[in-house]
Amino acid sequence: MKTVIQRRLILASCLLWVLPARAQSFDHQHAAWAALLKKHVVVLDGGRASQLRYAGFASDRAALTSYLAALSAVSKASFDAFSKPQQMAFLLNAYNAFTVELILTRYPKLASIKELGSLIQSPWKQKFIPLLGKQLSLDGIEQDMLRERGRFDDPRLHFAVNCASIGCPPLREEAFVAERLDAQLDEQARRFLSDRSRNRWNGEQQRFEVSKIFDWYADDFKLGHRGIGSVGTYLARHADQLADVPAERERLRGQTVAKISYLDYDWKLNDARP
């Protein structure tokens, strides 16, 4: 007869195998979400912007609900067993998918996501998301997890989450996946920074004119995973996307201090209406 200690050792060994197996059972290709994005995201200006067919998503509500249920079924223990890229892809896709779900709760009778908030609570504070054993808000995913110091420390996340507004970086036309995440995030950054309606170098005024995202999350761009020292330094490193004149691009690349102004943010719904 096995002793109690032996039985506990066997049980512990089994758990070491079971937890990773559960983690691996989740579809890390996010195929259901990818199919919805491919069908309903309208890519504009070579990927620099996008709109979303919310009416189409409403017609495919069952498929969206099924994907959200798959996200919600992942336990905290399973999530902890994911690799870091898998965790980040999971959270980015969850944020974007649950944002679509939030919009659909009142669509088509709204012109901005801000209409889903109240005087005492913004739409990003509403705890409507069953995820990882908790009831989370969109801020709970972005501010408390994606931006948590020591977890990812990657400012590119701000080009990947989409707040259902025209001023946001474009919703990507495919799901984020771990094996291509770094390249996907780099491309999101290039796309957003190349959009002259939201980010640009003004040669006449000798200043960057960029999205309020760089103001709201300035600390993330200062303390990013690549040792970036300031928002100005980050922008200078993307001179090829922000400046049109080759000579100015060359000069900006080595610049660490520059004037920066922040453009008004367009909160209108990023809806591709027929």
Q: What is the pLDDT of residues 89-139, one digit of tens each?
A: 999 999 999 999 999 999 999 999 999 998 789 999 999 999 999 999 999
| Mean pLDDT for the stretch of residues 194-199 | 96
pLDDT of residue 98: 98
Query: Cβ of 53: how many Cβ atoms within 10 Å?
Result: 18
Tens-place pLDDT, residues 141-179: 999 999 999 999 999 999 999 999 999 999 999 999 999
| Mean pLDDT for the stretch of residues 208-215 | 97
Q: How far apart are CA 270 and CA 152, in angstroms?
A: 28
First-residue to last-residue Cα distance in the chain: 72
Q: What is the rounded average pLDDT for all residues in the chain?
A: 90
- Crossing angle of helices 181-193 and 84-104, in 10° steps, is 50
- Residues across the chain: 274
Say whether 105 sits in a helix, a strand or coil: coil
Range with lowest mean pLDDT among 46-60, 199-213, 225-239 = 225-239
Contact predicate 240/250, CB 8 Å: no
pLDDT of residue 208: 96
Contact predicate 108/92, CB 8 Å: no
- 43 DSSP β-pair partners: 50
Band the pLDDT of 20: cuts 50, 70, 90: very low
pLDDT of residue 18: 38
CB neighbour burial string for 114-136, b if at least 16 within 10 angstroms, e if fewer: bebeeeeeebbebeebebbeeeb
- 210 DSSP β-pair partners: 262
Contact predicate 179/252, CB 8 Å: no
Q: How far apart are CA 5 and CA 225, in angstroms?
A: 44
Band the pLDDT of 227: cuts 50, 70, 90: low
Contact predicate 94/131, CB 8 Å: yes
Report domain extents, the chain. Answer: 19-173, 196-264
| Mean pLDDT for the stretch of residues 36-54 | 96
